[in-house]
Amino acid sequence: MIRNLHSLSFVVPVRIILVLFAGVAQAGRPVEVNQHIAEVFTTTDVPIVGEAGTNSQAFHGQAEFHVYELDRIRRTEANLSQGLPVDPEQSKRVVLQRFQQLSEEDRARMQRAAMGLAKAMQYGVDRYPAIVLDGEAVVYGVTDVQTALAYYRAWRQEGKR
């Protein structure tokens, strides 16, 4: 069953919006109650907080999570463009040289940002910070994965699933 995402939103007491993604839900398959997948959509200036922000092992057994810094490509491009010569051909060579000298870590971050932008579009996430849980609900305005998981579990217990 496919539903309009906007017609399925509601506000919980803490003014966090959860949106049901019925088309992405894993209907017919048993859902593991303790293990969740959390996808965090944020920017470099709005980092995740709590245990997830400092320790990726903090949720072992509770949640697998992925962080997508949506502005990483733009920030890298800005860094590559700093102090360029006025001559367009010379600028092109300098940028190409700088791009070739990017570390593997920077390249991986850019790739994750591109993947995050695509996933945000796929899910219909229209603002950040946002945490998508199990591909079926999004919690807006929260950067603490533990808090988002608590809202999500309460929402599911209310029978909203």
CA distance 68 to 92: 29
**Interior angle at CA 66, CA 60 and CA 69, nearest 5:** 145
- The residue assigned the tokens 């048993």 is 30
When pLDDT is cut at 50, 70 and 90, the band that residue 36 belongs to is confident
Does the pLDDT value for residue 2 go beyond 50? no
Mean pLDDT of the chain: 75
pLDDT tens-digit map of 78-92 = 988 999 999 999 999
What is the pLDDT averaged over residues 53-69?
Answer: 65
CA distance 63 to 84: 44
**Domain residue spans of the chain:** 5-70+112-157
CATH architecture of structural domain 5-70+112-157? 3-Layer(aba) Sandwich (3.40)
pLDDT of residue 158: 85
When pLDDT is cut at 50, 70 and 90, the band that residue 157 belongs to is confident
pTM over 0.95: no
Burial of 132 (0-12, 13-18, 19+ CB in 10 A): buried
Does the pLDDT value for residue 57 go beyond 60? no
